[in-house]
Amino acid sequence: MILETLNLMHYNITSVVPEVMPTATVPILLLMCFLFLIWNYEETSSIPGPGFCMGIGPLISHGRFLWMGVGNACNYYNKMYGEFMRVWISGEETLIISKSSSIFHVMKHGQYICRFGSKLGLQCIGMHENGIIFNNNPALWKEIRPFFTKALSGPGLVRMIAICVESTKDHLDRLKDVTAGLGNINVHIHAKFPIAMNGEFCLKNAIVLKIQNYFDAWQALLLKPDIFFKISWLYKKYEKSAKDLKEAIEVLIEQKRQRLSTVEKLEEHMDFASQLIFAQSRGDLTGENVNQCVLEMMIAAPDTLSVTLFFMLVLIAEHPKVEDDMMKEIQAVIGDRDVQSNDMSNLKVVENFINESMRYQPVVDLVMRKALQDDVIDGYPVKRGTNIILNIGRMHKLEFFPKPNEFSLENFEKNVPSRYFQPFGFGPRGCVGKFIAMVMMKAILVTLLRRYTVQTPKGRGLKNIQKSNDLSMHPNERQPFLEMFFMPRRNIDKCQDD
């Protein structure tokens, strides 16, 4: 009896298993096993970051960049996974780095001179293999960069000081039209604080608006997936913004070309635009590239530098002691005359204020690069073609500085090694305009502070201002916290005498 029970042949197996198994059952079971294996697959990469999860990970990480903005997403991921981590953008492996030694390595070496971004997006706004800012063709970029270097250094640097002083004085004179009854100037500041340009073109309000629309298009399209450009009505408004500015630039270039054809001594008119125009006539540059170079020269200051100055004005209003220290230095170095090129190196307190402002409240706090060769960064393998985002703004608040989370000029009382402070970057693809930007900021701040002190309504400071952090940091200009008071200094002296 026991043997019969153990003998499997004693049973009719067909009474246990159905006679006909459904045809689709086996393939479905195999597919489920395959998906289960993929789901539980762990990548061998030693770089921290979210999991792949059947492709869901890359979709979520790219979506987070589109939803939160580039800057906010970088801060989120570095906080979540560490200062050297990996995500995906458009399906491509992307490193987000906020570690000073790693950032220094990337900036220093020539295999990281290429940038990354949506090819279709950059084509839409004219930056793909054109201009200098996001030109991802290293050979062509190297041909174009010298035009910018020459224009933004040497004699151009000296001329810019006088241009900034006169332009700032002109704008301040216009503020008299909104003077309040007590002599104060109550203005609702636009974040694009009016500043001087390179003197070659006169920026009218209409073209400034076109520049803002162009920047919005650039920021919106930079990381968009290719499928976005399959639906024309989604990107047409951005395409139009780019086209409008390019057409306006072409008019200015043609006007410049006409003036050059009538001058007697060309050497007296060989500025940035002139050099580009003659390079085009020699066949060295295309007309499209000339247009984009002039466009990028014009968009850099009205956007990035102007917002930087806006944040500085807010910080001055919040820190009257810092303003007093700057005014003492300005009076000692400059006195009652206008600031000049020889004064720049002597304005140490002003320079420390500018540096601390850019560290504490940056406008551009990230840099985007692409690896052109295989490499190893701080022990992590980096493959050719890997995208890299350098989270400089976060780095500035993690290492070296004694008061990293406070606004304090003590952070720059001692010499700061370059590896710990890189507001403009350095190396072969460092910001070509970093020297002229510092000169412009000094000239504008000194000219403004000699005439006015800046105040904000009580309880309204930098922390109250809503900001968006995408390609760069910008205040939300529709909010009610951008009001400032410009008080003439003679009124302050009179009040103190009374």
CB proximity list for 424: less than 8 A, separation 6 or greater: 430, 431, 433, 434, 437
| 53 annotated ligand-binding residue | no
- Tally the residues of the chain: 498
Rounded to an integer, what distance in angstroms lies between the CA atom of residue 58 and that of residue 52? 6
Rounded to an integer, what distance in angstroms lies between the CA atom of residue 73 and that of residue 76? 5
CB-neighbour burial class of residue 478 (10 A; exposed 0-12, middle 13-18, buried 19+): exposed
Instruction: Locate 220 and state its tokens.
Output: 């919106």
| CA 197 to chain CA mean position, Å | 19
Distances in Å between the alpha carbon of 370 and those of 63, 115, 257, 433, 453?
Answer: 20, 5, 37, 21, 44
Distances in Å between the alpha carbon of 323 and those of 237, 345, 464, 490?
Answer: 43, 19, 21, 16
CB proximity list for 17: less than 8 A, separation 6 or greater: none
Cβ atoms of 100 and 120 within 8 Å: the answer is no
Could you count the other beta carbons within 10 Å of the beta carbon of residue 338? Answer: 16
Instruction: Give the three-class secondary structure for 261.
Output: coil
Instruction: Locate 163 and state its tokens.
Output: 């241009």
Instruction: Locate 285 and state its tokens.
Output: 């540059």
Instruction: Give the three-class secondary structure for 180.
Output: coil
Q: What is the DSSP string of 363-385?
A: S---EEEE-SS-EEETTEEE-TT
Q: What is the DSSP string of 368-432?
A: EEE-SS-EEETTEEE-TT-EEEE-HHHHTTTSS-SSTTS--GGGGSSPPPGGG--SS--STTS-T
Burial profile 145-177: b = 16 or more Cβ within 10 angstroms, e = fewer: bebbebbbeeebbeebbbbbbebbeebbeeeee
Residues of each annotated binding site for heme: 431
Residues of each annotated binding site: 431
